[in-house]
Amino acid sequence: MSRFAEPPDPVFQALNSSISFDHRLAPYDIEQSRAHVRMLAGAGIVSSDDAATIERGLEAVGAELDGGLFELRADDEDIHMAIERRLTEIVGPVGGKLHTARSRNDQVATDVVMYVRHHARTARAALHALMRTLVALAERHEDWAMPGYTHLQRAQPVYLSHHLLAYFWKFRRDHLRFGFCLAASDELPLGAGALAGVNFDTDRHELARALGFGTVAENSIDAVSNRDFVLDYLAAAATAATHLSQLGAEIVLWSSQEFGFCEVSDAFASGSSIMPQKKNPDAAELLRSKAPRVAAHLIGLHGVIHGLPLTYNKDLQEDKERLFDASDTLELTLAAATGMLEGISFQRERMASAAADEFPAATDVADLLVGRGVPFREAHGVVAGLVRHALERGKQLSEVTAEELSELAPQLDAAYYALLEEGAWLESKRSEGGTALPRVREQLERAHAALVEASA
């Protein structure tokens, strides 16, 4: 018997019901409930027989869920009620004992944090696969020259391996970020009850161990109001998605006829409904497009929690769809990035020819002057004048005559022309972390070490 005299309005039911999405929590709910009832029996709060009956029932419900045989009923408001309803159908009224010393408030928080922890681990594995792919790709293209850009202007040549490894380190930070996410969600909410704790001396640490948590939430009010773990997951996912968007954007750019640096495999491209010649890098565009989606989920959840009084408020129900969509999006785009990179082919000639442009050597010419004692700023000015002179005459730098040179930059001589022979300045970037081949090779070693560490 309910204290309510009136049935819910269908519009309210549609708004209030969460089962259309929270059914995804079912496996966590079953796992949680099994651990909970075992703990209740261990603490003598329910009898061992009842606990065994309930656990068998939960197993049966779980099997129905796994097998797609679980039937929802119109009045199943959420997955937690649906499971308990079905449990009671199977094992009888004793099923009602499962909810002893528990409230939906701590139950939901626990399901959600379990989901977060599972998917933080999934994200780490997917990031690891992508990182591995990037290392392999870098190794296959170790000494392929390409232009490095700033402001999308050719700036200094680099090796493709070096450029690819830049992404490696970004995704490795994402891996660390999901690691923090796991560390920061290591406290079990279950046992907080509705908000104040429960009337039983439950063994929460036992429960924590059973469910893979390091410890228990220290404060019941915090436990039921806390959604930091979702924010942490979304923040990590948003940053990873932003990195993926940069990778996607570069592949789109490089796939253009104008760049012509790479071609994605047919398996990751699509055609046009009207233009038969088109091969569109859709996968790369979609990688680019998804970051605002994940970031919007993050700010959306911040918005929900903003100004919300403690403890549980229905508003918190808004955490789930965002979280689910973010994890789906992230896992799919990580897999797509990995697959797309595995099948991509780079165009060595196009890249090399773009990298052969002499103007990027200008920094090195300036550094030549620095080596001769000219302060950098002054050297910069001298070379800028040379560049302008050459551009105005449609010349490459090496086509500037010795006469012109002696007038524009009297400190320069034959070393200038020597330097301008292609390639010299690629190997000159020999500082640690630079693009010179020996440095790239050191970097690859460290990347391998980081891979090993990340898989631990």
Residues 166-225 that bind its own copies (CB under 8 A): 166-170, 173, 176-177, 180, 183-184, 191-202, 204-205, 216-225
Which DSSP category does 366 fall into?
H
CB 411 → its own copies: shortest distance, Å? 14
Scanning 26-34, 58-66, 114-122, 356-364 for contacts with its own copies by CB under 8 A, the matching segment is 356-364
Q: Which helix (H) or strand (E) holds 123?
A: helix 104-140
Cα dihedral: 300, 304, 306, 308 (round 10): -170
| CA 351/CA 357 separation, integer angstroms | 11
CB 424 → its own copies: shortest distance, Å? 10
211 burial (CB, 10 Å; 0-12 / 13-18 / 19+) is: buried
Q: Which residue, 26 or 295, has its beta carbon nearer to its own copies?
A: 295
When asked if residue 4 is in the footprint of its own copies (CB under 8 A), the reply is: yes
CB 414 → its own copies: shortest distance, Å? 19
Structure tokens at 370: 């620095």
Per-position x/- string for 228-247, each x denoting binding to its own copies as judged by CB under 8 A, each - no binding: x--xx--x--xx--x--xx-
HSE-CB for 175 with a 13 A CA cutoff: 22
In the residue annotation, 398 being an active-site residue is answered as no
Helix, strand, coil shares of the chain as percentages rounded to 5? 65, 5, 30
Scanning 28-36, 116-124, 398-406, 433-441 for contacts with its own copies by CB under 8 A, the matching segment is 433-441
3-state secondary structure of 75: coil
| CA 448/CA 446 separation, integer angstroms | 5
Q: Which residue, 30 or 447, has its beta carbon nearer to its own copies?
A: 447
CB 76 → its own copies: shortest distance, Å? 13
Residue 61's CB is within 10 A of a number of other CB atoms, namely 25
For residue 341, give every residue at least 6 positions away whose Cβ sits within 8 Å of its Cβ, in sequence order, or none.
130, 133, 134, 137
For residue 117, give every residue at least 6 positions away whose Cβ sits within 8 Å of its Cβ, in sequence order, or none.
182, 185, 212, 229
Displacement of CA 344 from its chain's centroid (Å): 21
When asked if residue 226 is in the footprint of its own copies (CB under 8 A), the reply is: yes
Structure tokens at 13: 């039911």
Q: Which residue of 68, 69, 71, 257 would you call a contact of its own copies, by CB under 8 A?
A: 257
Q: What is the 3-state secondary structure (H, E, C) of 331-342?
A: HHHHHHHHHHHH
Q: Which residue, 26 or 269, has its beta carbon nearer to its own copies?
A: 269
Give ∠ CA 101-105-106 in degrees, rounded to 5. Answer: 60
Tell me which residues in 128-167 interact with its own copies (CB under 8 A).
147-158, 162-163, 165-167
Scanning 58-66, 67-75, 110-118, 284-292 for contacts with its own copies by CB under 8 A, the matching segment is 284-292
CA dihedral (389, 393, 396, 398) positive or negative: negative
In the residue annotation, 151 being an active-site residue is answered as yes
For residue 345, give every residue at least 6 positions away whose Cβ sits within 8 Å of its Cβ, in sequence order, or none.
262, 263, 265
CB 260 → its own copies: shortest distance, Å? 8
CB 431 → its own copies: shortest distance, Å? 4
CB 31 → its own copies: shortest distance, Å? 19
| CA 168/CA 171 separation, integer angstroms | 5
When asked if residue 258 is in the footprint of its own copies (CB under 8 A), the reply is: yes
Q: Which residue, 56 or 278, has its beta carbon nearer to its own copies?
A: 278
Per-position x/- string for 374-403, each x denoting binding to its own copies as judged by CB under 8 A, each - no binding: -xxxxxxxxxxxxxx--x------------
CB 337 → its own copies: shortest distance, Å? 10
Closest CA to 52 of 111, 97, 110: 97
Scanning 8-16, 19-27, 114-122, 123-131 for contacts with its own copies by CB under 8 A, the matching segment is 8-16
Q: Which residue, 273 or 401, has its beta carbon nearer to its own copies?
A: 273
CB 68 → its own copies: shortest distance, Å? 18
| Total interface residues for its own copies by CB under 8 A | 200
When asked if residue 74 is in the footprint of its own copies (CB under 8 A), the reply is: no
For residue 391, give every residue at least 6 positions away whose Cβ sits within 8 Å of its Cβ, in sequence order, or none.
none
Scanning 21-29, 57-65, 116-124, 273-281 for contacts with its own copies by CB under 8 A, the matching segment is 273-281
Catalytic-role residue among 151, 273, 345, 431: 151
Catalytic-role residue among 256, 265, 270, 272: 272
CB 105 within 8 A of CB 170: no
Q: Which residue of 86, 97, 141, 175 would you call a contact of its own copies, by CB under 8 A?
A: 97
Tell me which residues in 30-69 interact with its own copies (CB under 8 A).
none
When asked if residue 318 is in the footprint of its own copies (CB under 8 A), the reply is: yes
Scanning 7-15, 25-33, 58-66, 121-129 for contacts with its own copies by CB under 8 A, the matching segment is 7-15
Structure tokens at 248: 């996607």
Amino acid at 355: A
Q: Active-site residue numbers?
A: 151, 272
